[in-house]
Amino acid sequence: MTHSDKIELLEQYYHKYNQVGFIKDDPISIPHRFSKLQDIEISGFFAAMFSWGQRITIINKCNALLAMMDDAPYQFISQHQPTDLKPFESFKHRTFNGTDALYFMAFLQDFYQSHHSLEEAFVGTKMKEILTHFHQQFFALEFAPKRTQKHIATPARNSTCKRLNMFLRWMVRKDNQGVDLGVWKNISTQQLMMPLDVHVERSARKLGLIKRKQRDWKTVEELTKNLKRFDPNDPVRFDYALFGMGLENADI
């Protein structure tokens, strides 16, 4: 397949999936429920961190968690009393349990006491640096449970950081299609890295965009670099295309 054939196929699937009809069946529907910046950030963060497994299950679990916050996540994070946390002790989504939920909320409460936006936790130039810093900051509280570390990935451990990269795509990208939310301004689309899941990986390998055999941070770097050949300013927009191809098991 030639370079022009690849870009034509990527553009075709990008436009097919990057449209408002995509929202309702995807975890990105969770932050779309809100208009306040902090509500978008908090709900989006939980939705992204829950994003493994069936999408309908992810959405249902997010809605259940938000209902426990009276569907006002920022207000709950900022103003809850210790007794309000009791129901969260029994929360569970796959390997994410009550201990993890309580620490996530403790971090967010502590962070928002001195910051306006969660964007301020993602600082740096290169995405590897940004995500490594975020992981360190997230677990800086002295009572951080060791078990919770598996739910926040870091490039320092060569993880693909799929869920964090997807969360950042939601928060940073903004176009005329209305799917990504684009509420953050300090990170550019040029800095974003591809969220690498099984669908994206399958399609990318078929198109020869990944040669590396492993699935790790270096693979994410390889894929993002190759996608910059098609769009140097916004390579992660092709997440829609590669995800869609993989979901359909397209004949490439």
3 state DSSP class of 103: helix
Instruction: Give the per-residue pLDDT at 148.
Output: 97
Q: Which domain holds residue 73?
A: 3-248
pTM (2 d.p.) = 0.96
Predicted confidence (pLDDT) per residue in 90-100, tens digit:
999 999 999 99
- 80 backbone dihedrals φ, ψ, rounded to 5°: -65, 155
Class of residue 92 by CB neighbours under 10 A (exposed 0-12, middle 13-18, buried 19+): exposed
Predicted confidence (pLDDT) per residue in 208-242, tens digit:
999 999 999 999 999 999 999 999 999 999 999 99
**Distance between CA atoms of residues 219 and 104, nearest Å:** 28
**How many distinct structural domains can be found in the chain?**
1
